[in-house]
Amino acid sequence: MKSKQETIQIEIPKPLDQLSPSEIERKACIGKIMTYTLKSLTSTFVDQGFQWLLPVALSQCTDPLWPDPGASIDKRIEVDIYGKPVRTTASMIIHKLVAASTAYPKLFILSPNIRIEKAERAGTGKHIYEFTQLDFEARDATSKDIITLVEDAICTLIKDLKLDMKGELTTLCRCDTLKAPKAPFKIYDRVELEAKYGADGWEAGIAKETTQPVWVTNIPREFYDYEDFKTGKWDNYDLFLPQYGEVLSGAKREWEYAKISKKIERDQIKKENYALVLKMAKEGRLKPTAGGGIGMERLVGWIAGVKHVAETQPFPRVPGTVNEL
């Protein structure tokens, strides 16, 4: 079902060659904010001892994105190479679990996520069919560790950016309205938000209501997020930005074979697509980890105050629109 926010139509960002001089100036400012944000966040992760991995675009196994209450996938891309079927990266979650369990106990990747959203999402302002996640994972980390790490990273970024990027923020009319957030951010349980805004309206409701970034925990979704089978509670967390909505999703992860296997069956996902994680879990080689992924375009979109998140992309990926570049 469409939320109210999804029905609001927003002007579609144009490709570079069609921008007016003032639009080019705006685009350049957003580009500088993206560079600053990438530099700040990657420095924070490197300083905290995370290894920087390079991404892959094609794999036999990728994120099932199912069941995901927020997903609206029009098409899944699968091609044959060397006689094997491969999919374009939907997220590098499975790669992260394997990497963090083996050679890279703390890692991050700036990875392409290709999610061919339904064309009707063009005007929501929040969806693009290719985006970049700063995706990270840490062995033996708790949810609390990750929440603290992200809060520190975002508070540092905004505090520094407000000092160093005054000119750009002024051009974008964000100098006064962008407030430096204060940690710790408030944490809501999805159940309490559903009671207030309804099962279909809580994401839009909390984004509209809050003036600070906030966490929402306990969201039922893909098999890899940790679920306590006794209480039915999920040990996961999404970060919501005022007005802009979800910018990060993450969790403590499942690592035990019996649970992963049961959840994959429950979700009616093809087991053969997840043979490697199942095998590693069975052999006790999958380790407990926690992590998350920050949607870079949404984060910078919020900082820059854009109407459509594709404004942060040099080559906009608006659902339903394919440009030459």
- Shortest separation between residue 195's beta carbon and ligand ASN, angstroms: 25
CB contact set of 319 (below 8 Å; sequence gap of 6+) = 74, 116, 117, 118, 119, 120, 121, 122, 127, 128, 129
DSSP state, residue 180:
P
- Shortest separation between residue 34's beta carbon and ligand ASN, angstroms: 19
Give the residue closest to ligand ASN by C-beta. 293
Nearer to ligand ASN, 93 or 172 (CB): 93
Nearer to ligand ASN, 90 or 178 (CB): 90
Cβ atoms < 10 Å from Cβ of 284: 10
DSSP state, residue 30:
H
Question: Which ranges of 248-309 does DSSP label H, i.e. alpha helix?
Answer: 257-266, 275-282, 296-304
Nearer to ligand ASN, 250 or 316 (CB): 250
- Shortest separation between residue 63's beta carbon and ligand ASN, angstroms: 5
Nearer to ligand ASN, 114 or 155 (CB): 114
User: Distances in Å between the alpha carbon of 142 and those of 146, 217, 237, 288, 289?
Assistant: 7, 13, 12, 9, 8
Nearer to ligand ASN, 168 or 246 (CB): 246
Cβ atoms < 10 Å from Cβ of 13: 23
Most distant CA atoms of the chain, gap in Å: 59
| Residues of the shown chain interacting with ligand ASN in the complex, contacts defined by CB under 6 A | 63, 91, 93, 133, 135, 249-251, 291-293
CA distance 115 to 128: 8
Q: Is 147 exposed, middle or buried (0-12, 13-18, 19+ CB in 10 A)?
A: buried
Nearer to ligand ASN, 293 or 301 (CB): 293
Q: Are 137 and 100 in contact (CB under 8 A)?
A: yes
Q: Are 95 and 108 in contact (CB under 8 A)?
A: no
- Shortest separation between residue 251's beta carbon and ligand ASN, angstroms: 5
- Shortest separation between residue 74's beta carbon and ligand ASN, angstroms: 17
The token duo for 115 is: 């999610």
Sheet bearing 58-59, strands edge to edge? 58-59, 84-88, 78-81
Nearer to ligand ASN, 181 or 291 (CB): 291
- Shortest separation between residue 23's beta carbon and ligand ASN, angstroms: 31
Burial 299-312 (b: 16+ CB within 10 A, else e): bbbbbbbbebbbbb
- Shortest separation between residue 150's beta carbon and ligand ASN, angstroms: 11
- Shortest separation between residue 93's beta carbon and ligand ASN, angstroms: 5
